[in-house]
Amino acid sequence: MAGVMTIEEIRELLDLFNASGVGELEIEREGVRIRIRKAGATSEYTVSPAAETVPPRETAPEKASESEPGHTLVKSPIVGTYYDAASPGSAPFVNVGDAVETGQVLCIIESMKLMNEIEAEIAGVVAAKLVENGRPVEYGEALFSIRPR
Amino acid sequence: MFEKILIANRGEIAVRVICACKDLGIRTVAIYSEADRHSLHTRFADEAICVGPAKSSRSYLDIHAVMSAAEITNCDAVHPGYGFLSENAGFAEVCETSRLKFIGPPAEVIRRMGLKQIARAAMEENGVPILPGSLGILKSPEEAVEIAERIGYPVMLKASAGGGGRGMRVVRQPEEMGPLMAQAQAEAAAAFSSGDLYMEKLVENPRHIEFQVLADQHGDVEILGERECSIQRRHQKLIEESPSTAMTPELRQCTADRLRAAMKAVGYANAGTVEFLMDASGKLYFIEVNARIQVEHPVTEMVTGVDLVKSQILIAGGKRLDEILTRPVVLRGHAIECRINAEHPETFVPSPGTITGLNLPGGAGIRVDTAAYQDGVISPYYDSLVAKLIAYGSDRAEAIARMQRALGMFVVEGIYTSIPLHQRILKHADFVSGKIDTGFLSRHGFLADKK
């Protein structure tokens, strides 16, 4: 169909876009280009470079939330500060590639001056260490990716 | 003044506290459970920390988790909101020892105000009327009758060792005392292994009147008028207003003077509420102190012009009341609040779910405090409050008219809400004429389940 998109077509496009999980969409058809971008939590859309309507929040560095297929994520059971060794300067509890047994200490999470040892719940190989030493972690944050045996 | 405050709460009160912090230029940290990951309060805080799974005891009530969140974000103060840890003296104490300023009364004051006998004694010493009762265990029916004569019938016999309705009897005449005492004693002995009874005056269908307290950390106390919260179901408030139609200027002044003295005597600081029952003759009886900010604080804010949550933060930061308030505090106009809950308006069955359509009312005299948003979820794990709708007018009639208009323009789709119930209550002749008490909903057939 040649020419400008009708209002109905734009509305239909916006409805489809809105209902989808897509964050940004650009289509060009017959010389007409439309770019739609979702801003933050609100389903707000403009047919132009979108203005930020939700105030930007300090985003923490990209956190892993899903494991690769076949891997299990070890998630923090508490809020605190992550340490990968028993004390500053000593060797880390585990390194990438190490085999670990169930119950083996993987790291320490410090919470209110108490050191909590975090143990592996499955046996396998450490595929990735997901948090830098000394960084704060929240409940449920992914710490390690383990490839189960 | 504080640089960063952690809000140890969720929902609309968390948003409310964030608003006050923004007004003061203070950075905020939100905490949330996994169920609240997409909650509105996490989006408007500067930082947000997940503290646990959905279950409150492992998230919002978990002192370790809350303290750790404050620690890793370098907060210098914590606002507990209402409910959750707000009246947990142990939590306030942990904050004190960790040098994290608890925005509320001192831990020791929270503890003492939570003990019924201590609070009553403090009130009585300062001339605040308390619910009359026996000083100790009833020794005999003869003594009981004597005490009942002094207190005035009807009276309630209560088991000293327990509650929950067992070992309780209402006595309306002296002849009933002997047999009813025996029954209550037997029941109490069976339920709690002790037949000991005490007596309290029974106020039937009381009005619920409460006074707002604001005190600084330098010993200065102010009372910011009263609220009436008589429209209740199962002791849950549904509608609140300020001022109360049952209050006279003399009673307000006299009660405020005595409360000022009592709260000074207990060393109160920050915000609080003192709750009373009012009997049919207009007499007030103290029941308890709530040492925190309350859900219905907006109606007081509207009639006094005082931002209570902002005041809490300023007080905790050391500011004096004179720097926060203009005195005398005068009540102007009338404010009503409806608690819009996610429940069926007739059966009261909870209605958690996704809000598929939302239009918040606005316009003259309307304020909405909410954490709801379109596509947001009201989860089943926490309270069912969707929004607080507050209407302000130059008098009660205008407030009611504005509230009706706003209720009619408040659209919530996807879940049931109590909006239709509020509309029916506000139309009722007795509500309009101010003839209300805690028996209102039951008496006028609003409660299908007759409770």
DSSP string, chain A: --SSPPHHHHHHHHHHHHHSS-SEEEEEETTEEEEEE--SSS----SSSPPP-SPP--PPS----SPPTT-EEEE-SS-EEEESBSSTTSPBS--TT-EE-TT-EEEEEEETTEEEEEE-SS-EEEEEE-S-TT-EE-TT-EEEEEEE-
Query: Over the stretch B194-238, which tens digit does the pLDDT of each residue have?
Result: 888 989 899 999 999 999 999 999 999 999 999 999 999 988 999
With both helix axes pointing from N to C terminus, report the angle between B89-97 and B63-72 in degrees, rounded to the nearest 10: 30
Least confident of A22-31, B144-153, B279-288, B375-384: A22-31
- Predicted pLDDT at A11: 79
Q: What does pLDDT average to over chain B?
A: 95
- Residue B237 carries which DSSP code? E
**Domain check: are A40 and A80 in the same one?**
no
Amino acid identity at B384: S
Q: What is the complex's ipTM, to 2 decimals?
A: 0.78
Q: What percent of chain A has pLDDT over 70?
A: 76
Query: Over the stretch B139-157, which tens digit does the pLDDT of each residue have?
Result: 999 999 999 999 999 999 9
Query: Over the stretch B161-203, which tens digit does the pLDDT of each residue have?
Result: 776 677 889 999 999 999 999 999 998 888 887 888 989 899 9
**Domain check: are A50 and A76 in the same one?**
no
Query: Over the stretch B242-256, which tens digit does the pLDDT of each residue have?
Result: 999 999 999 999 999
Would you call B307 an interface residue with chain A, using a CB distance cutoff of 8 Å?
Answer: no
Whether the per-residue pLDDT at A96 is higher than 50: the answer is: yes
Whether the per-residue pLDDT at A77 is higher than 80: the answer is: yes
The most confident of A68-72, B188-192, B292-296, by mean pLDDT: B292-296
Report yes or no on A76 lying in a domain.
yes
Number of domains observed in the structure of chain A: 2
Interface touch B64/A111, C-beta < 8 Å = yes
Whether the per-residue pLDDT at A39 is higher than 70: the answer is: no
Interface touch B34/A78, C-beta < 8 Å = no
Report yes or no on A105 lying in a domain.
yes
Which three-class secondary structure state does DSSP give residue B346?
A: coil
Please tell me the distance in Å from B56's CA to the nearest CA on chain A: 14
Report yes or no on A130 lying in a domain.
yes
Interface touch B38/A41, C-beta < 8 Å = yes
Report yes or no on A61 lying in a domain.
no
Instruction: Give contacts of A58 with chain B, Cβ < 8 Å.
Output: 46-47
**Domain check: are A86 and A112 in the same one?**
yes
More confident residue, B51 or A66: B51
**Domain check: are A88 and A43 in the same one?**
no
Whether the per-residue pLDDT at B369 is higher than 50: the answer is: yes
Whether the per-residue pLDDT at A149 is higher than 90: the answer is: no
- Predicted pLDDT at A61: 47
**Domain check: are A39 and A88 in the same one?**
no
- Predicted pLDDT at A2: 45
Which three-class secondary structure state does DSSP give residue B221?
A: strand
Query: Over the stretch B94-134, which tens digit does the pLDDT of each residue have?
Result: 999 999 999 999 999 999 998 888 898 999 999 999 999 88
Amino acid identity at B11: G
Reported as a pLDDT band with limits 50, 70 and 90, residue A49 is very low
From the list B47, B72, B375, which residue is nearest A79 (CB)?
B72
Whether the per-residue pLDDT at B346 is higher than 80: the answer is: yes
Instruction: Give contacts of B38 with chain A, Cβ < 8 Å.
Output: 41
Domain boundaries B4-103, corresponding CATH code: 3.40.50.20
Report yes or no on A39 lying in a domain.
yes
- Predicted pLDDT at A15: 79
Q: Which domain holds residue A119?
A: 72-148
pTM score of the predicted model:
0.84
Whether the per-residue pLDDT at A22 is higher than 80: the answer is: no
Report yes or no on A64 lying in a domain.
no
**Domain check: are A140 and A76 in the same one?**
yes
Interface touch B51/A79, C-beta < 8 Å = yes
- Predicted pLDDT at B376: 96
Reported as a pLDDT band with limits 50, 70 and 90, residue A59 is very low
Whether the per-residue pLDDT at B335 is higher than 70: the answer is: yes
Q: Compute the residue count for chain A.
A: 149
From the list B43, B65, B73, which residue is nearest A57 (CB)?
B43
| Substitution target from A79, A81, A114, A135 for chain B, most B beta carbons within 10 A | A79
The most confident of A4-8, B132-136, B405-409, by mean pLDDT: B405-409
Domain covering B207-443, topology: D-amino Acid Aminotransferase; Chain A, domain 1 (3.30.470)
From CA B388, how far away is CA B410, in angstroms rounded?
11
Please tell me the distance in Å from B270's CA to the nearest CA on chain A: 27
Reported as a pLDDT band with limits 50, 70 and 90, residue A68 is confident
Q: B292 catalytic, yes or no?
A: yes
Q: What percent of chain B has pLDDT over 70?
A: 98
- Predicted pLDDT at A48: 43
**Domain check: are A48 and A77 in the same one?**
no
Whether the per-residue pLDDT at A42 is higher than 60: the answer is: no
Average pLDDT on B284-294 reads 95
Nearest chain A residue to B32 by CA: give it. Answer: A139
Q: With helix as H, strand as E and coil as C, how does A10-26 read?
A: HHHHHHHHHHCCCCEEE
CATH superfamily for domain B141-201: ATP-grasp fold, A domain (3.30.1490.20)
- Predicted pLDDT at A93: 97
Query: Over the stretch B307-327, which tens digit does the pLDDT of each residue have?
Result: 999 999 999 999 999 999 999
Residues of chain B numbered 321-340 and touching chain A (CB < 8 Å): none
**Domain check: are A115 and A142 in the same one?**
yes
From CA B160, how far away is CA B141, in angstroms rounded?
16
Query: Over the stretch B51-74, which tens digit does the pLDDT of each residue have?
Result: 999 999 999 999 999 999 999 999
**Domain check: are A50 and A111 in the same one?**
no
Interface touch A40/B43, C-beta < 8 Å = yes
**Domain check: are A80 and A39 in the same one?**
no
Interface touch A139/B59, C-beta < 8 Å = yes
Q: Choose, from B252, B292, B367, B402, the residue flagged as catalytic.
A: B292
- Predicted pLDDT at B348: 94
From CA B63, how far away is CA B294, in angstroms rounded?
21
- Predicted pLDDT at B417: 98
Edge-to-edge, what's the strand order for the sheet holding B221-233?
B284-290, B270-278, B207-215, B221-233, B236-242, B334-341, B385-393, B366-370
Average pLDDT on B435-443 reads 96
Whether the per-residue pLDDT at B289 is higher than 90: the answer is: yes
- Burial pattern B426-436, b for ≥16 Cβ within 10 A else e, equals bebeebeeeeb
The most confident of A28-37, A56-65, B183-192, by mean pLDDT: B183-192
Reported as a pLDDT band with limits 50, 70 and 90, residue A51 is very low
Interface touch B71/A111, C-beta < 8 Å = yes
Domain boundaries, chain B: 4-103, 141-201, 207-443
Q: What percent of chain B has pLDDT over 90?
A: 89
Report yes or no on A66 lying in a domain.
no
**Domain check: are A76 and A44 in the same one?**
no
